[in-house]
Structure 1
Amino acid sequence: MKRIVLSLFAAVSLLSAAAFAADNIATLRPHTPLAENGTPAPMAKPVNSDLRQVRNYPEQPPLIPHTIEGYQIDKNSNKCLTCHSRTAVEVSQAPMVSITHFMNRENQFLASVTPRRYFCNQCHVPQTDAKPLVENGFIDVDAVIDYVKSKEGTK
Structure 2
Amino acid sequence: MVWMGADMASAADPAPAPVKLQGLRGGTPLTQDNAPEGSRQERDHAPSDRDFVQQPPLIPHTTQGYQITKNYNKCMDCHAFQKAKAAGAPKVSVTHFKTREGTELDNISPRRYFCTQCHVPQTDAKPLVDNTFQRARGLQ
1:44-95 alpha-carbon deviations (Å, 9 max, x no partner): 1101123101101111011111111111111100000010010001100101
Q: Paired residue for 1:26, among 12, 18, 22?
A: 22
Give me the whole-angstrom Cα distance separating, in 1, the residues matched to 2:34 and 2:94. Answer: 44
Matched, 1:92 2:87: yes
The structure whose residues are more often helix, as a share, is: 1
Give the match's secondary structure for 1:53.
coil
Compared with structure 1, are the counterparts of its residues 83 and 145 closer, same or farther at alpha carbon in structure 2 (3 Å cutoff)?
Answer: closer
Q: Secondary structure of 2:85's match?
A: helix
- TM-score normalised by L of structure 2: 0.75
Deviates more, 1:44-53 or 1:95-104: 44-53
In the alignment, the residues of structure 2 paired with residue 101 and residue 38 of structure 1 have an alpha-carbon distance, to the nearest angstrom, of: 37
Does structure 1 retain, via aligned residues, the 8 Å contact 2:97–2:109? yes
- Which of the two has higher C-alpha Rg? 1
2:52–2:139: 8 Å Cα contact kept in structure 1? no
**Could you tell me which residue of structure 1 aligns to residue 43 of structure 2?**
48
Question: Which residue in 2 is equivalent to 1:141?
Answer: 136
Residues in 2 aligned to 1:39 and 1:59: alpha-carbon distance in whole angstroms: 34
Secondary structure at 1:78's aligned position in 2? Answer: coil
Q: State how 1:60-139 maps to structure 2 within 5 Å.
A: 60-139=55-134
The CA distance in 2 between the partners of 1:145 and 1:98, in whole Å, is 20
- Three-state SS of the structure 2 residue aligned to 1:74 is coil
Identity across matched positions, percent? 43
